[in-house]
Amino acid sequence: MESVRSYLTGLECRACCTTVEADRPVGTCPTCGHTLFATYDLAGASSTFTRVGVQGRPGTLWRYRELLPVRTATNILTLGEGFTPILDLGELPSAPGVHCLLKDDGLMPTGSFKARGMAVAVSRARELGIARLFAPTAGNAGIALAAYAARGGLPATIYLPESAPEAVPRACRAYGAQVVAVPGTIREAGEEGRRREKGTGAFDMSTLREPYRVEGKKTMGFEIAEQLAGDAFPDAIVYPTGGGTGLVGMFKAFQELRTLGWVDRIPRLYAVQPDGCAPVVRALREEAPRVRAWEDPRTIAPGLAVPAPFASERILEAVRASGGGGTTVPDLAMVEAMELLAKGFGISTCPEGAAPAAALGPLLRARQIRAGETVLLYNTGSGAIWDVRGLRDALGAAGKVAR
């Protein structure tokens, strides 16, 4: 892997077409404030970035180094993240005739898919000489940032909603990060973090407010294309959507892979959100160009309690350009899906990770997916810190058991 290099060429803003030199720290577009995306010399990378070329490389996301932004191998901070299994679930009761697969990122080093983005972003931050990091988070991203910052010897501050499960700040502190609890949602946590950190030199690692977390999330698409080649490639991917970086990352991955000849089509991407916080699904239904902030967000899934995801134009673009769509699910359906996956298949999921399984029935009834298709469900995180019975009891006590 030492001989494999990054073919990173720069950064670009899709909103205003500004291009930015990549080898200095930068957050959002200096012209318009939108998200910057990494660009690569795909023609140059094509000589080694082939299916045969990546075979035999270590079973981590770093097997795709040509299309990742870290230039020097010694700057890679790894905990063994990536190349998680894809499990065959067969046919689930809620979706007769649909062949269901599940990619299990609950097995990542920090327990969730957030390890992908943070492994790449923190590695690149260290390579660029950034000395301090901070981020708002509903949970898993904070744990991942704390872990990879510790791996790189970088101080990190995590801004959490006060309502975050106690296991989250405990895990962040265990990795040595500073934790600041903020009243409200991740939106308020972000505002408070940016206010406090202004002028300190700390770098904002928020979702889509820096260029490289999406590059780590992109490896979800790379792995799906490598693990499910040819006829096994899914017709659709159902994904729990909070900040939406995973959808943006997978869409970017499939675009790059199509250019390189790995795939000839992009699976339809479906966003799943809870009934009590669904700004992306609402925007899809209204055919809006961007989301409106969700009023009074309520859900048991902290990672999906994102009332106004940043760069929502890019999330909607990924879903629409792939021919996909979206649906909402009640909290109780997520809990039932957690139980189904655990007891029926031995798969541990958080509420967010169970949301795609909960969405199968609604998507089939709406004819967004169809019998005879292969559909991949994305489990974004482990259920290790979750008490399913406690969730059921809490929903019953709150009077939220009605579908």
Residue 393: pLDDT over 90: no
Q: What is the pLDDT of residues 194-248, one digit of tens each?
A: 999 999 999 999 999 999 999 999 999 999 999 999 999 999 999 999 999 999 9
Residue 102 corresponds to which tokens in the numbers above?
């599940």
CA separation for the pair 280, 326 (Å, rounded): 8
| Domains, the chain, ordered by start | 86-111+211-397 (3.40.50.1100)
Which pLDDT value is given to residue 293? 97
**What are the CA-CA distances from residue 18 to residues 26, 32, 35, 400 (Å)?**
13, 9, 11, 47
Which pLDDT value is given to residue 165? 86
The three-class DSSP label of residue 102 is: strand
Which pLDDT value is given to residue 3? 76
Quick one: average pLDDT of 34-42?
A: 98
Residue 191 corresponds to which tokens in the numbers above?
């505002």
Which pLDDT value is given to residue 138? 83
Confidence of residue 173 (pLDDT cuts 50, 70, 90): very high
Residue 400: pLDDT over 80: no
Task: State the average pLDDT for the chain.
Answer: 95
Nearest to 36 by CA among 8, 61, 73, 63: 8
The three-class DSSP label of residue 40 is: strand
Burial (CB count within 10 angstroms: exposed 0-12, middle 13-18, buried 19+), residue 24: exposed
CA separation for the pair 210, 206 (Å, rounded): 7
Say which residue, 402 or 313, is predicted with more confidence.
313
Residue 402: pLDDT over 90: no
Which pLDDT value is given to residue 2? 60
Cα pseudo-dihedral 184, 212, 14, 138, rounded to 10: -10
Residue 152: pLDDT over 80: yes
Residue 262: pLDDT over 80: yes
**What are the CA-CA distances from residue 299 to residues 46, 142, 240, 255, 362 (Å)?**
44, 19, 13, 33, 18
Which pLDDT value is given to residue 343? 96
Confidence of residue 398 (pLDDT cuts 50, 70, 90): low
Q: Which range, of 46-50, 244-248, 270-274, 389-393, averages the lowest pLDDT?
A: 389-393
Which pLDDT value is given to residue 403? 35
The answer to whether residues 185 and 307 touch, using CB atoms and an 8 Å cutoff, is yes
Confidence of residue 296 (pLDDT cuts 50, 70, 90): very high
Which pLDDT value is given to residue 355? 98
Quick one: average pLDDT of 65-87?
A: 97
Q: Which amino acid belongs to residue 387?
A: D
Residue 1: pLDDT over 60: no
Which pLDDT value is given to residue 399? 56
Residue 81: pLDDT over 80: yes
Q: What is the pLDDT of residues 334-343, one digit of tens each?
A: 999 999 999 9
Which pLDDT value is given to residue 299? 95
The three-class DSSP label of residue 180 is: strand
Residue 31: pLDDT over 90: yes
pTM for the full predicted model:
0.95
The string of DSSP letters for 201-236 reads -PEE--TTSSSSHHHHHHHHHHHHHHHS-GGGS-SE
Question: Percentage of residues in the chain with pLDDT exceeding 70?
Answer: 98
Residue 45: pLDDT over 90: yes
Q: Would strands 236-240 and 374-379 be described as parallel, antiparallel, or unpaired?
A: parallel
